[in-house]
Structure 1
Amino acid sequence: MTKWVYSFGGSHNEGRAEMRNLLGGKGANLAEMAAIGLPVPPGFTITTEVCSAFYDNDRNYPADLKAQVDEALARVEAAMGLKFGDPSAPLLVSVRSGARVSMPGMMDTVLNLGLNEKTVEGLVKSSGDERFAWDSYRRFIQMYASVVMDVAHHRFEDILEDAKRALGVFDDTEITADAWRGIVKSYLNVVQKETGRPFPHEPQDQLWGAIGAVFGSWMNPRANTYRKLHDIPASWGTAVNVQSMVFGNMGNDCATGVCFTRDPSTGENIFYGEYLVNAQGEDVVAGIRTPQPMSALKATPEQSPMETVLPEAYQELCRVRELLEKHYRDMQDIEFTVQSNRLYMLQTRSGKRTAAAALKIAIDMAAEGLITKEEAIQRVPPASLDQLLHPTLDPKAERRQIARGLPASPGAATGIIAFSAEDVEDLAAKGEDVILVRIETSPEDVHGMHAARGVLTTRGGMTSHAAVVARGMGRVCVAGAGSIHVDYKAQTLTAGRETLKAGDWVTLDGGTGAVYSGKVPTIPPTLSGDFSTLMGWADSVRRLKVRTNAETPEDAETARRFGAEGIGLCRTEHMFFGPDRIGHVRQMIMSTEQDERARAIDALLPFQRDDFTQLFRIMAGLPVTVRLLDPPLHEFLPHGEHELEEVAKAMGKNVETLRARRSALSEANPMLGHRGCRLGISYPEIYNMQARAIIEAAIAVSKETGNAIVPEIMIPLVGVKTELERTRAAAEATVQAVFKEKGVTLEYLIGTMIELPRAAITAGQIAEVADFFSFGTNDLTQTTLGLSRDDAGSFLPHYVDTGLLPKDPFVSIDKEGVGGLVRLGAEGGRKTKPGLKLGVCGEHGGDPDSISFFESVGLDYVSCSPFRVPVARLAAAQAVLKQRQKQPV
């Protein structure tokens, strides 16, 4: 019989931390905390395998699941000395989700389950607090009806607000027991009216309704969006955790809170978090009340830190903090409740953190001996380094502060205001920089937060939904800016006398919490010593070299600052779009006579030579791979009558003649047309000019700097060996001519870009006349899958969303198809020429998952955009460590 249910806490503990794939992160860690002696309220976990079975069998459970749940529930009753559904002393439970990786706020939770009009009286007797009992009952109805029965949350909030107005009170804690009774009655009436059926009163019905809702929430829109953003497979499923309730809202000796064992924004080794006296867990993250700090060191005079309000529970929590960090060897995100001065642990998990915090925590923990340097390298997600490379506010720029909130996620962002996630998405799709402004965010806003440059909320603390999700996404966030009033209906935010409307500019400083009116200039980031330390450790481990794709001095200099070890792709066609060049290029293309073409090409030579001189100078002897011209012709043809007239005037031609020439050159499919080496074969003078410019520049910089410049000339779009033979022979003839003219020689390489399936298949033949291969995985993906990257956006997301493809193949390499051709090409090339240099220069060169694949293939280097260089350096190191872990000991 398959075991579907695992107990934890009490005297019966069946799980451990290493079982997270089966029990989910929450369930595995609850069992682990219980196993090491921490105070965990007893409960049980329904495994992720049930979730898979639930969806595989038309939302039906395994036949023997109920019996196992009943048995586990009986153990909880025995441990607590209470009975589920007992009118005199009822056991109440929470029902929570728990995927194997943390998905904060994405799925559903129900608290206080087991209450009805009879058991609430039992809770009155056992707690001695009538107000608390009826408040718990109304919370349960509101949460259960919203989560399980799809009753809109605001229907209950409206009733509550009306009741407070009638009573003349402002805080929930001021509402009397009699008033709660009336509110409960109104809640039950709303459920009946909205759903056409009564609220379920039988605790077993409530339990299975909640279990079904949690499993159902695995496929809700916000969970699907979160999984897509964080590359979490839907097949993993979620577990369901049923746990006995402990109450943080039974009086002033009770509390609930969320804390981190280190600061998740900076990584500083301080106990960091927030708590509320006399509150349930959702009160802390919802921003309904202002949370208080944990430590007296971080408190202002008007605040009430837990250290002074509940000193015994605080000291116990400090002991737990130290124990958990040493046990898990990572910064932990903790949820706790204090009931009658006694601490209970409700959750621990590896805490989400900013990239800066991840760096500091990894470096510090290695220094403290908690982890090794190799583990520190693996602790920082490579893609998160992007967070460190974004600009900050220019300290010299003028600014006008209108408000200040909490610095919830660092960095700086400026953009136009939008008040809904949908508006943010629409504006961002049009290329706008947008700031999402909300009173408070909810999981439904996650898609808008992802599209935004930054997030501003007027409620919530450092552990609010907005703060946690924004930090994980690397978005700037200022939370809890309480002096700002947001009016959704009027589409305005008001701070003092300043009112801004949707579409106005606003600037956020996530490092200080400041909010500024208008657009404040930014400056490039400065990288910390922790960054240099980690990059140094990564560089000592990685085997793959990391180059950059660059053709401008600015990009080359940026890449060098980030540690690039050369240029792996200089796309010369990108150099020709300048206003001083494009005319000559068009004349070169539109010419029908060789002497006309030669004049245009001669005019381009000094531009090209100067381009390459600057790049060689910046790279200071590091390898530079220059791809000869590979223009889809439609990008360079004169567009419109004005451009046609300009070219005609420069060439002394009739406009009608050039119009006919443009028509003749137009192609039905330019990406598969007269481009790459095909153009060089048709018009060898073009490639001859570029080869001359490259070698003349290399000679000049070698003489100027004393660095040995070894240029790498790359011939694009080769499909057959004979194409490379002919273009190489022409290039070498030009190179030798330059050597003779200058009276000097230097080392150089001539290779090709493998970007066609035939080239990969016949790589062994092509390698006979190539000094290196560079895999152009952008075009190789297009030609292998038969997908146009420019056109596939209309349907490719659907392929990924529905599982037809695991990932977008233009973002992460298709390992079986395109990757199979890369492997085949690498093996074929090195079989012919064992020392053949192999690299990759498509966008995949900056994708961590693709880099891991390139490490397994044995390529020599990857090349990526300048801002992805640190990402690639770290990913290359992690790829080596991943390979080592796979090797048998």
Structure 2
Amino acid sequence: MAKFVYDFTEGNRHLKDLLGGKGANLAEMTNLGLPVPPGFTITTEACRHYLTQGTVPDGFEQEVEEHLAALERQMGRTLGQADDPLLVSVRSGAKFSMPGMMETVLNIGLNDESVHGLVKQAGGNDRFAWDSYRRLIQMFGKTVLGIDGDHFEHALDTLKGDRQDTDLAAAELQALVETFKGIVREQTGHDFPADPREQMRQAVMAVFDSWNAPRAILYRRQERIPADLGTAVNIVAMVFGNCGNDSGTGVAFTRDPGSGHQGIYGDYLQNAQGEDVVAGIRNTIPLQDLERLDKSSYDELLAIMEKLENHYRDLCDIEFTIERGKLWMLQTRVGKRTAAAAFRIATQLVDQGLISLDEAVTRVTGDQLAQLMFPRFDTGAEKKKIAKGMNASPGAAVGKAVFSSERAVELAAQGEEVILVRRETNPDDLSGMIAARGVLTSRGGKTSHAAVVARGMGKTCVCGAEELDVSTSERRFTAPGGVVVTEGDVISIDGSTGEIFLGEVPVVDSAVVEYFERGGVLQEDGRDREGELVRAVDRIMRHADATRRLGVRANADTPEDSARARRFGAQGIGLCRTEHMFLGERRQLVEDLVLASGEQERQAALDALEPLQKADFIGIFRAMGDLPVTVRLIDPPLHEFLPDLTDLSVKVALADAGHGEVSVKDRELLTAVKRLHEQNPMLGLRGVRLGLVIPGLFAMQVRAIAQAAKEVPGARPEIMIPLIAAVQELEAVREEAAAILAETGVDALIGTMIETPRAALTAGQVAEAAEFFSFGTNDLTQMVWAFSRDDVEAAFFSRYLELGIFGVSPFETLDQEGVGRLVRLATEEGRAARPDLKLGICGEHGGDPGSVRFCHDVGLDYVSCSPFRIPVARLEAGRAALSENDSDSR
């Protein structure tokens, strides 16, 4: 019979799939002998059963009751006992951290009788007891009963006035409990449940349900967390940080998650429960101040932090509570960190002997490296600083100030850059945080909701800017000196310093981009800008390059792009798009070629194009030296090189109506354009078809490539024939190309781009005529999904994401089930027919981290991507090679 509940003593940190991250780590800390309140975990399997079947599994309730009874025996009191109550918390905990996205309920077990027993437990501290009771009703009402939290907040704010909640007397809190119970009765038609076991049962179901809450779904989509994992539920004996000034709660990190620097980092709040810290409703004090308030607990906490970091061999995020001078550990996990911190910490841990360099490479990601390549504010620019907060998540963000998540989403959808400004954020603000370039709050510490979520998403965040008076209702904030910023005004925030500026501040390239622009070479004097970070990146990149199997090439069409790609570490060009060479003034020559009425006109156009093509290739070959250059023969939708049919038609029609004149050439042109007009140009006369229909076009290009190669010593051209669907198309062009190469004495591979489903399905035949395949996954994705990328992304992709039809755009990350299956099939059948077949990918997926790992697993030889994504692909290729021996590298 399946087991659905585990005591903390039965689990360990390796059971995250079953116990969730929180439960697994509570078990691990228990087994390490750390001071963890006793409790038990309901498994993710129980949650999945509930979500799919609509009911809990057989035997579940009995199993929970047995573990609750064991907890009661251990604690020496029963849940909700009138004279000496056991109280518990009910907390969510998925495999992957989802801060604030799911539900927690504290103080389960309180009612009108047990609250008096809690007073006795607390030595007559009735204020503490009534404060705990009102918190239960407030959290339960919002979380479990679905009551709008503003009802409770309004009642609390009305009672407090200008005071802090800690200033409320016991009698006032007792009255507030009655007010809260009245809200529950008014909003639900039922009384607040007094039965402690019923409270716990409903809270557990609410945590299960919160897995599919809109904000949790949105967060999983943003972080690409699978939707079918479910959450565990942790039932933990309550310990109280709101017993008085000898109590409190805090969040600590074993090193700075913003910078990676070692030191004491965290927030502490006296006389508070845990949600007070992350909610940012009261500003915290730095963790270091705990030494002055409670040195014994402070010293014990530091010792535990060191023990946990050495045990987990990583930055740890810790939640703790002090109850009347007694330290309790409520949670630990491997902490979220900024991109810069990830690289620094990885190399620091290597130097400390805690992890290997192999493992260090798997501890960072291509997405984090991409974040480090984002621009930074220009330190030399004029700036009008208006305030300063806490530097919660680095980066430079510029945008229009907005004061609601709804407005942030609305403006971002219109292409506007926005900064979300709030007093403090809560989980319901997630959509606005995703839409915004950065987040600014006037309350909360570096471990507040805004800070933690922004760091996890790589968003710039400044929080706790107490100098700002934020009025969300009036959609404005006031800064010192009477500076008023209203919605729509542009502001700039620096997540590295916490500074807030009025207006737009210019940005400059990051130090990491400067490093790559130097060809990945450290400055000889060691004075690289952000030197520690750049050295960490250099160290990681060198090891990734040494361990990866996949080659990394560039998509580049000009000598300038080719040179930059080489500096960024490209090992060749995987896609040189020749149609990009025919834009501007040359477009007329292609138009003349396509519309030529006879062989003489066509040859004249070809003769004009050939020397231009040759010069293009000479520049690219020189930039790449002895590295391979894959040149794709021209592949434009034909309409891109013809006059617009509508414009021509209108021009002739107006002339026929007596409004203006039109030349004979324009009339002839209109006839030709009508003849060549296509309803769906992307599936029309393009690619190999164009080369077969227009005699001499591909021959001119191959000749230009060959002649250019002869002039550049060491040049290694590869000729790629685009958009084939049948091997016969490839054979026809290959025969002509091979003859030209033989005639010029140039050695070059001839291959094809696999970008139609039929080419992939007949790869065994195609490989007999091709020396290499390059998967064009942009067009392959369009054809497999029957999506026109140019038309559908704005039209309905956002709705498809909301519905979960796909978790991420298939044009962003390779669709492994559909498109990926064709790639795998073509790879296997192509290599079976030609064992030495060279295989690569040149669609934009070549620079996407998840797609790079797929290409490694399938067995491709290289990926090709835009120059700026080359470092990301290099790193991910190294991680893919190393993760074969480390399945838990995520």
Using the size of structure 1 for normalisation, the TM-score is: 0.92
Match of 1:101 among 89, 93, 96: 96
Shift of residue 352 of structure 1? 0.5
- The 1:515–1:683 alpha-carbon spacing in structure 2 relative to 1, beyond 3 Å, is same
Contact conserved, 1:405 with 1:482, CA < 8 A, in 2? yes
* Aligned match for 2:632, one of 614, 618, 627: 627
Amino acid at match of 2:505: V
Separation in structure 1 between the aligned mates of residue 501 and residue 816 of structure 2, nearest angstrom: 46
Equivalence for 2:529: none
2-side partners of 1:730 and 1:466: how far apart? 62
Counterpart of 1:518 in structure 2 is: 503
1:617 deviates by 3.1
Q: Secondary structure at the match of 1:468?
A: helix
Residue 765 (structure 1) shift: 3.0
Cα offset for 1:774?
A: 0.8
Distance in 2 (alpha carbons) for counterparts of 1:339 and 1:170: 24
Query: Against the structure 1 CA distance between its residues 783 and 110, is the aligned structure 2 distance closer, same or farther, given a 3 Å change threshold?
Result: same
The answer as to 2:358 corresponding to 1:347 is no
**Distance in 2 separating the partners of 1:389 and 1:779:** 28
* Structure 1: distance between partners of 2:265 and 2:13: 24
Q: Which residue is 1:756 aligned to?
A: 756
Q: CA offset at residue 605 of structure 1?
A: 4.0
Counterparts in 2 of 1:480-491, with a 5 A limit? 480-491=464-475
Q: Tell me if the contact between 1:645 and 1:655 (Cα under 8 Å) persists in the aligned partners.
A: no
| Secondary structure class of the residue paired with 1:783 | helix
The aligned residue for residue 509 of structure 1 is 494
Separation (CA, whole Å) in 1 of partners of 2:582 and 2:392: 44
Q: In the alignment, which of 357, 375, 388 is matched to residue 404 of structure 1? A: 388
Cα deviations by residue, 1:675-729 (Å, 9 ceiling, x for unpaired): 0011011113332333343334434443xxxxx1111121101222222222223
Looking at structure 2, the residues matched to 451 and 611 of structure 1 have their Cα atoms a distance apart, in angstroms, of 41
Q: Equivalents in 1 of 2:648, 2:496: separation in Å?
A: 48
Q: Distance in 2 between matches of 1:802 and 1:413?
A: 30
C-alpha contact 2:248 2:268 (8 A) present in aligned 1: yes
Identity of aligned residues (%): 52
**For each residue in 1:798-825, what CA deviation from the matched residue of structure 2 results, as whole angstroms up to 9, or x when unmatched?**
6666565576433333334433332332
Q: What is the correspondence of 1:36-185 to structure 2 with a 5 Å cutoff?
A: 36-58=32-54, 60-127=55-122, 128-165=124-161, 169-185=162-178
RMSD over aligned Cα atoms: 2.5
Alignment of 1:191-270 (within 5 A): 191-270=184-263
Give, in whole Å, the separation in 2 of the partners of 1:834 and 1:480.
Answer: 61
Change (3 A) 1:519 1:151: same
Q: Distance in 1 between matches of 2:699 and 2:394?
A: 51
Whether the aligned pair in 2 keeps the contact of 1:638 and 1:644 (CA below 8 Å) is no
Match for residue 556 of structure 2 among 539, 547, 550? 550
Q: Find the counterpart in structure 2 of residue 591 from structure 1.
A: 596
Asked if residue 566 in structure 1 is aligned to residue 566 in structure 2, the reply is no
Farther off after superposition, 176-185 or 312-321: 176-185
CA contact (8 A) 2:246 2:270 kept: yes
Does structure 1 retain, via aligned residues, the 8 Å contact 2:741–2:747?
A: no
1:721 equivalent in alignment to 2:727: yes
CA contact (8 A) 2:648 2:666 kept: no
Which residue identity does 1:777 align to in structure 2? T
Paired residue secondary structure (1:259): strand
Map 1:196-595 → 2, pairs under 5 A: 196-295=189-288, 305-496=289-480, 497-527=482-512, 528-577=534-583, 579-595=584-600
The answer to whether structure 1 residue 845 and structure 2 residue 846 are counterparts is yes
Task: Decide which of 29, 32, 40 is 1:33's aligned counterpart.
Answer: 29
Residue 44 of structure 1 and its aligned partner are, at CA, apart by 1.1
Contact 1:755 1:777 in 2 (8 A): yes
Letter in 2 for 1:509: D
Decide whether the 8 Å contact of 1:455 with 1:475 is kept in 2: yes
The alpha-carbon distance between structure 1 residues 433 and 635, as it changes in their structure 2 partners (threshold 3 A), is: farther
Distance of aligned partners of 1:610 and 1:437 in 2 relative to their CA distance in 1, 3 Å threshold: farther
Distance of 2:664 and 2:387 partners within structure 1: 63
Distance 1:746 1:521, change over 3 A: farther
Secondary structure at 1:236 match in 2: coil
Partner of 1:832: 833
Which structure 2 residues correspond to residues 851-866 of structure 1 after superposition, within 5 A?
851-866=852-867
Cα distance in 1 for residues equivalent to 2:147 and 2:205 = 16
Q: Secondary structure at the match of 1:107?
A: coil
Q: How far apart are 1:530 and its partner, in Å?
A: 0.7
Which amino acid is 1:635 matched to?
E
Shift of the alpha carbon at 1:646? 11
Call closer, same or farther: CA 1:801–1:163 in 2, change over 3 Å: closer
Q: What is the aligned partner in structure 2 of residue 608 from structure 1?
A: 613
Could you tell which deviates more after superposition, 470-479 or 596-605? 596-605
Segments ≥4 residues shifted beyond 6 Å: 640-649
Answering whether residue 677 of structure 2 is matched by residue 666 of structure 1, we say yes
Deviations 1:789-847 (A, max 9, x none): 34454556666665655764333333344333323322333333322211111122223
Please give the secondary structure, in 2, of the residue aligned with 1:881.
helix
Rounded to whole Å, the distance in 1 between the matches of 2:503 and 2:704 is 47
- Aligned counterpart, 1:680: 691
Q: Is the 8 A contact 2:281 2:424 kept in 1?
A: no
Greater mean alpha carbon deviation, residues 601-610 or residues 332-341: 601-610
Question: 1:886, CA displacement in angstroms?
Answer: 7.6
Partner secondary structure for residue 679 of structure 2? coil
- 1:584-624 per-residue CA deviation (whole Å, 9 max, x = no partner) reads 33333343334444444444445434433333333233222
The one-letter code sitting in structure 1 at the alignment partner of 2:490 is W
Gaps of 5+ in 1: 296-304, 703-707, 740-744
Change (3 A) 1:805 1:654: same
Distance change (3 Å), C-alpha of 1:693 and 1:792: same
Partners of 1:100 and 1:637 in 2: CA distance: 55
Contact 2:648 2:670 in 1 (8 A): no
Between 768-777 and 107-116, the greater mean CA deviation after superposition: 768-777
Find the aligned partners of 1:36 and 1:575 in 2 and give their Cα distance: 65
Q: Distance in 2 between matches of 1:475 and 1:615?
A: 37
Take 1:70 and 1:764, find their aligned partners in 2: how far apart are those partners? 62
Contact preservation (8 Å) 1:797, 1:808: no
C-alpha offsets along residues 378-414 of structure 1, whole Å, 9 cap, x if unaligned? Answer: 1113222221110011222222112211111111121
* AA of the residue aligned to 2:236: Q
Q: Name the SS of the counterpart of 1:251 in structure 2.
A: coil
Q: For 1:815 and 1:634, how far apart are their aligned partners in 2?
A: 32
Tell me the distance in 2 between the aligned counterparts of 1:415 and 1:142: 36
What is the count of residue pairs matched by the alignment?
857
2:335 and 2:648 map into 1 onto residues whose CA distance is 57
Residue 11 of structure 2 is matched in structure 1 by 15
CA–CA distance in structure 2, aligned partners of residues 92 and 438 of structure 1: 34
- Does the residue aligned with 2:570 lie in a helix, a strand or coil? coil
| 1:885 Cα offset (Å) | 5.2
- TM-score when scaled to structure 2? 0.92
CA deviations over 1:85-130 (Å, ceiling 9, x no partner): 1111111111110101111110011111111121111111111211
Q: Distance in 2 between matches of 1:633 and 1:340?
A: 78
